[in-house]
Amino acid sequence: MLPEAESAAPAMTAVLTAVLTEGPLSRVTLARRLGLSQAAVTKAARPLIELGYLQELAATERSGPGAGRPASPLAIRADREFFVGVKITADELIGVLCDLGAQVRKSIHRPLLDKDVDYVLTELGHLVDDLIDDRSRTRRLGLAVSGDVDRATGLVRYSPFLHWRDVPLRELAEKATGLTVTVENDVKALTTAEHWFGEGVGAESFALVTVGTGIGCGLVVNGRLVSGSHGVAGEIGHIGVDVNGPACHCGGRGCVEAIAGTDAIVSRAGLSFDDAVNAARAGDVRVSAVFAAAGEAIGCGIAAVANLVGPAHIVVSGEGLAAYDLFETHIRAGFERQAFGAAAQCPLSVRPLPFEEWARGAATVSIQAFVAS
């Protein structure tokens, strides 16, 4: 880093983040949004321009009433740096190569035949090699994993679908790939991508609920992702909604996930998930009741989020949306019944996101770590 950049690091981070997530922006607009003087913005932007992360666009607006010289907006040079993001599932690695603006330049799926940590790391190394074209401009890797993840240390405390416990994934992945690694819970990574580059851009508060093998939730409050003291904030899949309900893999009983997760639906329906969906759509009363109970549980979990946090907007996503028509009325009924007062007015929107978007979320947390550095 340039000496001038080191002294202006906090302002640089603020300017780079703002331009990255909301740009192009003029220095006047940046000063107003960040509470800095125009001189401070100029000082912070200069090393970023010299380092090649920002560029000045052609002048498009005047800097104020009566001002003679139009302002030149600052924009990201997206191809200055590239980031790899990988979503690790129980049977597949989904990898993407993103530019600095989190646009996907390349994507690869690689099957996993085993959940063994060493095997997964070997396959991860091959995937990274296949994705990267220029290692001089690709120095960081983000990994998204389900379960209890400590982002600060890169430790996967518990991943139920991978059957991992206390895996120092950051350390192992850095050795396997030679890249600087950031590890995050998959739902939080997806939420970060939505906050920086999706529906949550500029939002002070919103929640992202994912429906699928697990039931997850990412929370943004006061413009920041909420992790909590123990890193597990937002785990609505493990909110108990039925004390007499089925046992959950977490050790609890009647959790939302134990009623509404894909495995739970398969178990209760006695059919594969696709067959259960087809049966319910064909009018099978017994199987339809399984989806109804799942939707009610999800709705209660979402209502708990609305009651506790009061987000301005809740986005529902995940691979389970393929069957959303079977859930929707029951989700909304459970939500409206359990939401307290004005919390029931919180809008719910459905946003289908393929697994490549989860991998993009992993790349986004790597971008975020880079900007913070």
Q: Where in the chain is the domain with CATH 3.30.420.40?
A: 81-191+357-372, 200-350
Taking the C-alpha atoms of residue 69 and residue 82, their distance in angstroms, rounded to an integer, is 35
Phi, psi for residue 216 in degrees, rounded to 5 = -120, 170
Q: Tell me the three state secondary structure of residue 36.
A: coil
Beta-sheet pairing, 61-62 with 70-71: antiparallel
97 touches 188 (CB < 8 A)? no
Q: CB under 8 Å to 34, separation ≥6 — which residues?
A: 11, 14, 15, 18, 41
Q: Under CATH, what is the fold of the domain 3-76?
A: Arc Repressor Mutant, subunit A (1.10.10)
Distance separating the N- and C-terminal Cα atoms of the chain: 10
Q: Where in the chain is the domain with CATH 1.10.10.10?
A: 3-76
Mean pLDDT of 168-181: 97
- Mean pLDDT of all residues belonging to the chain: 90
Query: 196-206 pLDDT, tens per residue?
Result: 998 888 788 89
The reported pLDDT for the residue numbered 2 is: 45
Report angle CA 335, 337, 343 to the nearest 5 degrees: 60
CA 348 vs CA 147, 252, 299, 312, 328: distances in Å: 24, 28, 10, 10, 10
Composition of the chain by helix, strand, coil, percent to 5: 45, 25, 30
Task: Please give the CATH superfamily to which domain 200-350 belongs.
Answer: ATPase, nucleotide binding domain (3.30.420.40)
From the list 313, 312, 314, 290, the residue with the least C-alpha distance to 301 is: 314
The reported pLDDT for the residue numbered 70 is: 58
What burial class does residue 348 get, using C-beta atoms within 10 Å of its C-beta: 0-12 exposed, 13-18 middle, 19+ buried? middle
Structure tokens at 195: 């906050």
Buried b (16+ CB within 10 A) or exposed e, 196-234: bbbebeeeebbbbbbbbbbbbbbbbeeeebbbeeebbbb
Taking the C-alpha atoms of residue 329 and residue 348, their distance in angstroms, rounded to an integer, is 12
The reported pLDDT for the residue numbered 4 is: 46
Taking the C-alpha atoms of residue 45 and residue 54, their distance in angstroms, rounded to an integer, is 8
Beta-sheet pairing, 104-111 with 92-99: antiparallel
Q: Tell me the three state secondary structure of residue 109.
A: strand
Instruction: State the alpha helices, DSSP H only, in 198-348.
Output: 256-260, 262-269, 273-281, 285-309, 324-338
> pTM value?
0.87
Assign 224 a pLDDT band (cuts: 50, 70, 90). confident
Assess whether pLDDT exceeds 60 at residue 195: yes
Query: 145-162 pLDDT, tens per residue?
Result: 998 999 999 999 999 889
Assess whether pLDDT exceeds 50 at residue 288: yes
Q: CB under 8 Å to 32, separation ≥6 — which residues?
A: none
Listed range (149-153, 182-186, 248-252, 286-290) with the worst mean pLDDT:
248-252
Assess whether pLDDT exceeds 70 at residue 135: yes
Mean pLDDT of 262-273: 94
Assign 318 a pLDDT band (cuts: 50, 70, 90). confident
The reported pLDDT for the residue numbered 69 is: 55
What burial class does residue 102 get, using C-beta atoms within 10 Å of its C-beta: 0-12 exposed, 13-18 middle, 19+ buried? buried
> Does 81-191+357-372 carry CATH code 3.60.150.10?
no
Going by the DSSP 8-state scheme, the letter that residue 59 receives in this structure is: P
What burial class does residue 168 get, using C-beta atoms within 10 Å of its C-beta: 0-12 exposed, 13-18 middle, 19+ buried? middle
Most distant pair of Cα atoms in the chain: their distance:
73
Taking the C-alpha atoms of residue 306 and residue 70, their distance in angstroms, rounded to an integer, is 45
